[in-house]
Chains A and B, each alone.
Chain A
Amino acid sequence: MNFMPVILWSDALVFLLLAAGVFGAWYVRRREYLLLPWRRVGQSATAMVSLLVLSLFFVVGLLDTLHYRAALPEKNGGEKMYSPEVLSVFDKLVTPLRTQTEKTYSAPLAVTLYAKESTSDAQGRVLRDYPRLRYGGAHLVDATQRDENVLWRAIKGAIGGLVVGMLLLVAISSFRRRLVGWARSVPTRAGSKANGGHVTCQPYTLRALLITTLIIAALIGAIANLAPAYHVLGTDKVGQDVLYLSLKSIRTGLIIGTVTTLVTLPLALLLGIAAGYLRGWVDDVIQYIYTVLSSIPSVLLIAAAVLMMQVTIETHPQWFDTSASRADLRLVFLCLILGMTSWTGLCRLLRGETLKLREQEYIQAAQAFGVSSLRILTRHIVPNVMHIILISLVMDFSALVLAEAVLSYVGVGVDPSMISFGTMINAARLEMGREPMVWWALAAAFGFMLVLVLAANLFADAVRDAFDPRLNRTEGTA
């Protein structure tokens, strides 16, 4: 084997999350009443289009989660050594982006550096000119051919992407009959008019999905065809490709957005339900704990906790074998700390809902039959508060992705060596004063973040509309 798989802490948490997601999907899939709200989500065009965009982000994030260390060239008879650099499958896929680094800044699609440099020509005269890039447009003999070449490559790539996208759609649509098969099995109100009592995807939802898929395919095709020869989004101060940095940032953002809620979910669920169901002194103690935690302004609590975490990491260098594992542990800790400040809200909601639920007839009936408290909690209460958990999970996601950037700016975010939207913005911000301005790194970070957060927000709204019974009523009357 010429590589060694590496599972960092955050990777393990992502795999755990993935397993939970797959299990959840399997569980819901077999229960019609749980599937129903998801069908409602499926009928919304915005929700499905944003889900498509989100899943692209997730694919990039997942590929970037499969880490390994490559083997170093073997010395005679020596033990097999592995490179200290931890790479991911995604890094391997986009090797040209990662390795083709320039000297310093260059604008998007440029063929020359951003600043003039002194060079001497064959006669020894000193010239001041923009030097050509090492990789960006290096295949061009004449720099003036660039526009034509870029256009040509983009069109070719887009057409290629379209063809692949169409093939993919054809493959899916032949597979879809089976897919729609199970979606059709339950009659609903919305479907009853359109399709003889059976649900199917709304035609315009399908159309929207189709168009989005083709647009994205064309875009990916064009970028994929340009990226090996140009820096599509320019390069940063040390000459790294901004497109590569943006794509790598996705994983950090996704982990902050998902793992944070995951790690504190058990705590919020356990304490919230216990407080609501058992009441008495348990309720008092739990309420006291979350009042104390929530009374500290969250930024300050995060700052204090992260400062202390830095001290711990700094004073225990022996815990980490690679710099990646160190940055990674800091990311996991950051998720934990963020979770510690945000679980109180969910806990309060769950407590309130449980207080309401425990007075319901079916729970009182269960109590009268002598069902144990534990059984009532797991069989009756937990399933009935699941929608609150789900809604808060999807609603928190976008806020957390945005929070990461702010925290990294404040200096209490991810490790400075870790690529994230926050560290990108932080580095690019210092170049605001340059004339002319270096805008592409900022634009790329903000652009990627906007797409990710917007898609997450739209999807979260659709999920909330489908799951929140209270909201449905108000929307209906309004």
Chain B
Amino acid sequence: MIAYLIRRILYAIPILIGVNLLTFALFFVVNTPDDMARMQLGIKRVTPDAIEKWKQQRGYDKPLLVNSAARGAGKITDTIFWQKSASMFVLDFGYSDDGRSIGREITQRMAPSLAIALPTFLIGLVVYVSFALLMTLFRATALDIAGVALCVLLMSVSGLFYIIGGQFVVSKLWHLVPISGYDGGMGGFKFVVLPIVIGVVGSVGSSSRWYRTIFLEEIGKDYVRTARAKGLSELRVLFSHVLKNAMIPILTGVVVVIPLLFMGSLLTESFFGIPGLGSYTIDAINAQDFSVVRAMVFLGSLLYIVGLILTDISYTVVDPRVRLQ
């Protein structure tokens, strides 16, 4: 197990290097820092001096890969690649355009993101699995068909509609909760409840239908027939046999997203004014703050890879047949 984990972590390193090189190519080679400066300063009032100043402020006034002017190790380290890209491996994200430490922003903003994302994830999981089990229990009846039809309908509605509609009805018409805002501690409850509900409702359609497919696939197998032949009730079969055996496909889809919960949701956070990582990313995109976007890309893929490793570990927990070697 330990050996397996070490191997997986070692395997993650080339992937992270790949991500790093990709973002480096995307941000510094496709467009040179000069282009970025021209874009941000505006085409009209751009002068060579202004570009130099812009680059100097952000530390972009260095060669890309090899600094032939420097000596010794400086040839490698005194470059954009080393200072902007390679430093991300030690989680040093540098500074955003307004001069704040990106690393500190990230640690501060993780809590609000989690306050929304974690409950949404947990409540959602329970709701979707229960709904899917209900449809499976009444499969091929009017209830099941109506459930699937409802799922398809809910899937076809834009996610923006749930947020805009929810805000309008709950906050503006009924005045139940504030439209947007955030507060730490218990006082924050009234702010997070609507985003959580909308987050859960927003993916009822696709998720429940996906779980239903998984359960239906399991229910056609031989062990289910055996269990029924033993005289077990349909509920027993569903809960103690089908649900357990469906764990592997469920975990495959679910565990991977757990670390990504830290990243928050772009849409929800920006609509509800929650100071999490999602709204941080959106603000950075709108302000064209390239260093923040680059940091988020790297952080996102790091968390995704952690999720993949967690998924493998979770298999051993639910299925004793799986041994990681």
Contacts and interface: CB of A to CB of B under 8 A. Distances in A.
B152 A314 contact: no
A299 B161 contact: no
A446 B157 contact: yes
B26 interface: yes
Interface in A156-193: none
A288 B15 contact: yes
B103 interface: no
B296 interface: yes
A312 B32 CA distance: 10
Contact of A406 (B26, B160, B290, B308): B160
Contacts of A425: 158, 160, 164
A478 B242 CA distance: 13
Interface string A293-335: 1011101110111011011101101000000000000000000
Given A307-B285, A317-B43, A457-B155, A295 B35 contact: no
A292 B18 contact: yes
A76 interface: no
Classify the interface of chain A: helix, strand, loop or mixed. helix
B14 interface: yes
A432 interface: yes
Contacts of A301: 297
A411 B281 CA distance: 11
Interface in B216-231: 216-217, 219-220
Contacts of A274: none
B142 interface: no
A461 interface: yes
B26 A304 contact: yes
Contact of B159 (A317, A402, A442, A461): A402
A303 B281 contact: yes
A220 interface: no
B90 interface: no
A442 B163 CA distance: 12
B72 to A, nearest CB: 32
A405 interface: yes
A461 B159 CA distance: 21
Given A291-B15, A295-B305, A297-B263, A457 B39 contact: no
Interface in A400-414: 402, 405-406, 409-412
The residue among A297, A305, A477 with the most chain B CB atoms within 10 A of its own CB is A297
Contact of B152 (A293, A296, A449, A458): A458
B168 interface: yes
Contacts of A432: 164, 167-168, 172
Contacts of B301: 295-297
A398 interface: yes
Interface residues of A, number: 49
Given A409-B160, A432-B168, A454-B153, A297 B300 contact: yes
B157 A450 contact: yes
Given A312-B31, A432-B168, A406 B159 contact: yes
B288 interface: yes
B27 A304 contact: yes
Contacts of A461: 152
Nearest to B155: A457
Interface string B287-323: 0101001101100110011001000000000000000
B156 A300 contact: no
Contacts of A475: 216
Contacts of A473: 220
Nearest to A460: B152
Contact of B297 (A288, A304, A453): A304
B267 interface: yes
Interface in B127-168: 139-140, 152-153, 155-161, 164, 167-168
Nearest to B36: A311
Contacts of B260: 297
A474 interface: yes
B293 A304 contact: yes
A299 B157 contact: no
B266 interface: yes
Contacts of A421: 158
A315 B40 CA distance: 10
Contact of B219 (A300, A312, A478): A478
Contacts of A305: 26
Given A307-B285, A410-B285, A288 B43 contact: no
Interface in A440-478: 442, 446, 449-450, 453-454, 457-458, 461, 473-475, 477-478
7 contacts: A304-B27, A308-B26, A406-B158, A409-B160, A425-B160, A450-B157, A474-B216
Closest 7 CB pairs of A and B: A292-B18, A477-B220, A454-B156, A297-B300, A453-B156, A295-B301, A311-B31
Given A295-B301, A437-B168, A478-B140, 11 more contacts: A296-B304, A311-B35, A315-B35, A315-B39, A402-B158, A410-B267, A425-B158, A425-B160, A425-B164, A446-B161, A450-B158
Interface of B: 14-15, 18-19, 22-23, 26-27, 30-31, 35-36, 38-39, 43, 139-140, 152-153, 155-161, 164, 167-168, 172, 216-217, 219-220, 260, 263, 266-267, 270, 281-282, 285-286, 288, 290, 293-294, 296-297, 300-301, 304-305, 308
